[in-house]
A and B are shown apart, each in its own frame.
Chain A
Amino acid sequence: MSELMLRETASQTAGPYVHIGLALAAAGNPERDEEIWSEMVKPDASGEHIEVVGTVIDGNGDLVRDAFLEAWQADAEGNYQSDYDLRKPFNSFGRTATTFDHGSEWSLKTIKPGAVVHPNGKLMAPHINLAIFARGVNIHLQTRLYFDDEVEANRECPVLSRVESDNRRQTLIAKREEAGGVIRYRFDIRLQGPGETIFFDF
């Protein structure tokens, strides 16, 4: 590569104790006054309030119980709220983790995102960008969560429709379930092997 440009600092795994730095409560440690965590939404935020939950599964089919995830999504109108502020009703950014507790599920409380325009002028189907960090993951994995009740939008999505394999496309689609009046979407991330989730480079 050209000497005219600096090289990016190299990535390293977040390791087994990522939670003490980026997910204090999940490590069992005291929290600071303001933490960046999994409640992206307050009750008064506009939009459809949802939970997204899931597990992370390794190539042996076993739960990954020390993963750290970051979410980035548009608001209900399809705009990214770049200005992170816990006093706002909604933030586009959130963090969550799997641990050895709570069935090793991650979860986020958020709103269902609106459609975002692709550079080609078409609308992308509603989606949440997710980044996965963990011990054994040398550079974070980037994926997208789509919604199974957005059949039409998913079919027309300029990103999703580029996936040739129908089986693989399904790995990006969260399944809606309703429990106790809560709208929940389940999205299990398979790092390797059968049903391996699609990961992106961008």
Chain B
Amino acid sequence: MQSNHNRFVTRDRNWHPPAYAPGYKTSIARSPQQALMSMQQPTASELTGPDFSHLRMGSYDNDLLMNFTQGEGLPQGERIILFGRVMDQFGKPVPHTLVEMWQANAGGRYRHKKDAYLAPLDPHFGGVGRCLTDDQGFYRFRTIKPGPYPWPNDVNSWRPAHIHVSVMGPSISSRLITQMYFEGDPLIPLCPIVHTLKDPEAVETMVGRLDMANSKPMDCLAYRFDIVVRGELQTYFENQ
């Protein structure tokens, strides 16, 4: 029942965005001011996590071209395959882990009651997908490329095209939500949310690459986005 993992490589919180990143205005009032309390010795509470192998998925759960209308009509926009491999920091594939994603439509509009952007909804597009990685750690979605959209941060802030990506990994210690951006998008360096990261190399970990080899001729392009979760360590010497 309980899969107890060993330790995980320490999260580098200078690599990840800090809580307080004032260029992204909402973070100002939503960032803790106190230091995080470090668990010097993580426990079973942190080293375990859910395994979703028995979650019953629908046949179109990873196909956003089909899953909102069950194929009654196709959405507008650039047809793409989004795929990649989930692995840990030692390059070890993470099989059978839950990958979830959500996104705006081709015009940058989300199917959410709070999104009032004037670009219209697409009657054939919902914008949500999920799948489990396979035995080798690969996941795959079919979708349309989302559009950029304006948001009230600076006077004229626009999000680059992005897909929100959520991955569980082997335990709640490896839990991660990120955003995938598209290679070459000139909005990436202008975005206050991207700029919450200090290290340009960290930004590179969030960029999906055009993958012609995995594109489908006369059908859809492909983007590859590999996801790295915290590495799982073996505990050789538990006690001194």
Interface residues of A (CB under 8 A from B): 1, 5-22, 24, 27-30, 32-34, 36, 58-60, 62, 64, 66, 70, 72, 74, 79-87, 91-93, 100, 116-120, 124, 127, 129, 131, 133-141, 144, 159, 162-163, 168, 191-193, 196-202
Contacts and interface: CB of A to CB of B under 8 A. Distances in A.
A139 B17 contact: yes
Interface in B5-23: 9, 11-13, 15-19, 21
Contact of B177 (A14, A86, A202): A14
Given A10-B206, A21-B127, 19 more contacts: A6-B91, A7-B202, A8-B9, A8-B15, A12-B17, A13-B27, A13-B179, A15-B164, A27-B113, A72-B48, A83-B1, A84-B50, A92-B50, A119-B238, A137-B19, A138-B24, A139-B17, A200-B38, A201-B11
Interface residues of B, number: 88
Contacts of B15: 7-8, 10
Give the top 10 A-B pairs by smallest Cβ distance, nearest first. A21-B102, A136-B26, A136-B30, A138-B17, A93-B50, A59-B29, A202-B39, A85-B54, A201-B36, A12-B179
23 contacts: A1-B12, A10-B203, A12-B178, A12-B193, A14-B166, A29-B112, A29-B128, A30-B126, A32-B57, A36-B55, A59-B33, A80-B48, A83-B51, A85-B55, A86-B55, A92-B48, A92-B50, A117-B44, A119-B238, A129-B46, A139-B19, A159-B39, A191-B32
A129 B50 CA distance: 13
A82 B90 contact: no
B49 interface: yes
Contact of B32 (A116, A133, A196): A196
Contacts of A92: 48, 50
B32 A84 contact: no
A18 B11 CA distance: 23
B156 interface: no
Contacts of A134: 30
Q: Would you call the interface of chain A mostly helix, strand, loop, or mixed?
A: loop
Nearest to A164: B37
A115 to B, nearest CB: 11
Contacts of A81: 1-2
Contacts, number: 273
B114 A66 contact: yes
A139 B16 contact: yes
Interface stretch (B75-83, B182-190, B216-224, B226-234): B226-234
Given A7-B15, A12-B193, A22 B205 contact: no
Given A8-B229, A9-B176, A138-B17, A84 B164 contact: no
Given A17-B110, A139-B16, A192-B30, A24 B206 contact: no
Given A10-B15, A138-B18, A19 B205 contact: no
A21 B99 CA distance: 11
B41 A84 contact: no
B175 A131 contact: yes
A25 to B, nearest CB: 12
A11 B230 CA distance: 12
B164 to A, nearest CB: 6
Contacts of B110: 17, 20
A22 B178 contact: no
B240 interface: no
B43 A140 contact: no
A120 B240 CA distance: 13
B196 interface: yes
A187 to B, nearest CB: 16
A202 B16 CA distance: 14
